[in-house]
A = this chain, B = another copy of it.
Amino acid sequence: MDKRKNISMAVIKRLPKYYRYLSDLLKNDVDRISSKELGEKIGFTASQIRQDLNCFGDFGQQGYGYNVKELYNQISAILGLEKEYKSIIIGAGNIGQAIANYNNFHNLGIDVSAIFDTNPKVVGIKIRDTEIMDIDKLGEFVSQNNIDLAVICVPSINAQKVCDEVVRLGIKAIWNFAPVDLITEADVVVENVHLSESLLTLIYLANEKKRNELR
């Protein structure tokens, strides 16, 4: 029985949030929770939560609520976190180094197998036991290791070139921090973290709020 077809992007985007809240509940030794209580925490309605989780299977029991540990495990499995992933980071500048050092990255079971850069000044330096390698070694490394995802942290001008190269090498998942919209084949998934756009949205909204208050 596959209930997972045609799930809206909106639901998918909420899954990591469920995962985060459930993992906090687990840490606080909460055994079970009703959709109403969970909704109040997350800021969704109980009915939205029931609807969302119903997209993936039958969770919870009426009058009892959700078993936190079970729901956590199930969402974990839905997200694909039952296995480990191998990643490479391309670009060992500020963002690349921060990601390589980022605890949550490791906590989610994502291994940073290698970091690549063109700058001879950083090549050879280790970040958490992972050595920064020369970008010339990229092809050889990826073909010898089973890499699941590439994190692109290079300047915008090089991002598409790097993207084309990792896709050519068979990597199908790209986490992109360069402020460009990458063009890829349909079988590749790109998730962008466009920091400047997030910041510009914040500035716009803050100004907008001020304008509204002055009205």
Contact = CB atoms under 8 A, between A and B. Distances in A.
Contacts of A16: 194, 196-198, 200-201, 204
Main secondary structure of the interface of A (DSSP, over half): helix
A134 interface: no
Contacts of A200: 15-16, 19, 79, 81, 108
B199 A105 contact: yes
Interface in A173-215: 173-175, 179, 181, 187, 189, 191-211, 213
Nearest to A148: B206
Interface residues of A, number: 58
Contacts of A175: 198-199, 202
B108 A199 contact: yes
Given A94-B101, A94-B102, A187-B213, A81 B203 contact: yes
Contacts of A105: 195-196, 199
A81 to B, nearest CB: 7
Contacts of A12: 201, 204-205
Interface in A158-182: 172-175, 179, 181
A118 to B, nearest CB: 17
Q: Report the 4 A-B pairs with minimum CB-CB distance, sorted nearest first.
A: A98-B98, A191-B202, A16-B200, A16-B197
Given A108-B200, A192-B198, 4 more contacts: A20-B179, A94-B97, A173-B202, A191-B202
Interface of A: 4, 12-13, 15-17, 19-20, 42-43, 78-81, 85, 94-95, 97-99, 101-102, 104-105, 108, 110, 148-149, 172-175, 179, 181, 187, 189, 191-211, 213
